[in-house]
Structure 1
Amino acid sequence: MRAYSTQFGTAQIHLRNPLISAFWSFAFPGCGTLAQGRLLKGLILIIWELTVNGSAKVNLAIMYSLLGKFEMAKQVINERWFLLYASLYVYAIWDSYRGSVALNQQYILADREDASIRPFVLKTYEQNPLDTRNPLLASALSLLAPGLGHLYVNKLISGMFFIAWTIVVMYFSHALPAVQATMLGHYDQAIRIVNMQWLMYLPSIYGFVLHDACVAAVELNKLAEKEQSKFLRDNYQPSNFKMPL
């Protein structure tokens, strides 16, 4: 089975580069797993990352290290939590790589089987038609607000999670007041009010949703083409059919 459609989205397997999956788990543990469609494990790893990272102050230590303030990095880091973070980090990267290799093997078998795909789902709460999406529009919506691109490609659970996650990060990082102060030229005030521990989550969020929404749209288009191709093969006569005289 290449794909399974429900009212909450279409779960599908397709060929992935294991190194890219590992990279997204390197950028933010859980994102590489989430991109594979393994929602439960991905969300658990992301929540675990947020909890441990925030308690260990990993983002602050990274910021001070990049600025060359290594003594400050040593002071802010919580070693008890940081040692727990290392195990999470290694596992997330390994699991994303291993999962991509296994899913690629499953996809090759499913593609050779050429199993049928349910093209339309109609339920009480939502409908999910299998049709094409514009990858550039999916990325643009994700850039406008993380999660909107996922809603556009009918990945409802991921989309709602990223919307909620972005709201939390924006609130605790004071990103929007800092942007407003910067636009007014009050740079010192922007630096004072921003919370870098939370703000440093944003590059990972934006980078991942832009990539994942675009890939999801491309693969959804491929899936729609395969379903249409199979439907035409199964329901229309071959070109060499001899019409009776």
Structure 2
Amino acid sequence: MNQIPPFRRQRAYLSQFTTSQLHLKNPWVVAFFSFSYPGFGHLMQHRYIVGFILILWETFINGMAKVNLGILYSLLGNFDRAKEVLDERWLILYIAIYMFSIWDGYRTTIDLNKQYVLADREDAPMLNIKMGSWDMNYLDKRKPWLALVWSALFPGLGHLYLHNVVSGFFIFIYTVGICYYGHILYAIHLSMLGDFTQAKETINMQWALYFPSIYFFIIYDAYVSAVENNKLFEKEMAAYLRKNYQKIHFKTPL
């Protein structure tokens, strides 16, 4: 349990498995990632339960309604085929949750930005280390470009580098599932051998079209999380130094 003085708001919360923090976000960026894949905007806000539910719901309802295939055929200009593959019975259910994800991500970001400003002005205290029987988590500075590179090599690894075990492990397992059911890695292998015809026949586009949204989101989120974690480390260190070493009557030079 985090032992901190009773302040009205918290800027950050350290658990054994992740670091949740408030920081300023662009509501339109969150809305965009919610638009690209419902649930991703909520992961950016560290609202993991809502985010995981929306991501799993998107996987289920998109598969039942064949939305990805409808998008694919529409982009290819084959609108008749797109209308054939779409299942209207499931598509109606898809629309409401999809719009809610975008709206809620945008709305909540504005509210959380206000909470951050108030907590920052209050100079709310933060723990710098959390230890437990399963793992330990601590604030320190890490390289954003390394988080980006590990995420580019495989989604989830960058978050594990930042000790965001909750989202990192979920995205890692989720990506493995997408690659398996979409036959993505085998299609890449065939493409590298020059067998493009067999690669096109092998890949399952309904599953494969999930991957681009996952890939670019996780790279962006890992990089931004590294930057914000570094800022959090600096703020915690600055607060500690002010409290313990700065004299009240010391006159700083202008």
**TM-score range relative to shorter protein:** over 0.9
Deviations for 1:165-201, whole angstroms, at most 9, x for unmatched residues?
A: 0110000010111111111111100000100000001
What is the match of residue 230 of structure 1?
239
Match for residue 105 of structure 1 among 110, 114, 117: 114
Letter in 2 for 1:69: N
Match of 2:213? 204
Return the alpha-carbon distance in structure 1 between the equivalents of residues 186 and 157 of structure 2: 22
Does residue 86 in structure 1 map to residue 95 in structure 2? yes
Question: Cα offset for 1:240?
Answer: 5.5
Q: Which among 48, 52, 58 is matched to residue 57 of structure 2?
A: 48
1:237 positional shift:
3.3
Identity of aligned residues (%): 51
The residue aligned with 2:175 is 166
SS at structure 2 position matched to 1:128: strand
Q: Distance in 2 between matches of 1:223 and 1:62?
A: 41
Superposed CA offset, 1:60-109 (max 9, x none): 00000000000000000010111111001100000000010000000000
- Aligned ranges 1:1-245 → 2 under 5 Å: 1-238=10-247, 241=250
Q: What SS class does the counterpart of residue 16 from structure 1 fall into?
A: coil
Output the CA distance in 2 between the equivalents of 1:43 and 1:177. Answer: 27
**Structure 1 residues 138-185: Cα deviation after superposition (integer angstroms, max 9, x where no partner):** 011001110001111111110010011011000001011111111111
Whole-angstrom CA distance in 2 between matches of 1:102 and 1:38? 13
Q: Which secondary structure state, in structure 1, belongs to the residue aligned with residue 127 of structure 2? A: coil
Aligned-partner SS, 2:137: strand
Residues paired across the two proteins, number: 242
Deviations 1:28-69 (A, max 9, x none): 011001110100001001111110001000000000000000
Deviation at residue 238 of structure 1 after TM alignment: 3.0
Q: SS at the partner of 1:121?
A: strand
Structure 2, unmatched stretches of 5+, are 1-9
Question: Structure 1-normalised TM-score?
Answer: 0.97
Q: Secondary structure at the match of 2:19?
A: strand
Post-superposition shift, 1:241? 4.2
After TM superposition, the score normalised by the length of structure 2 is 0.93
- Distance in 2 between the 1:230 and 1:23 partners? 35
Q: Deviations over 1:113-159 (max 9, x none)?
A: 00111001111110101101111110110011100011111111100
Separation in 2 of the partners of 1:133 and 1:241? 33
Structure 1 residue runs of 5 or longer lacking an equivalent are none
How far apart, in 2, do the equivalents of 1:205 and 1:52 lie? 17
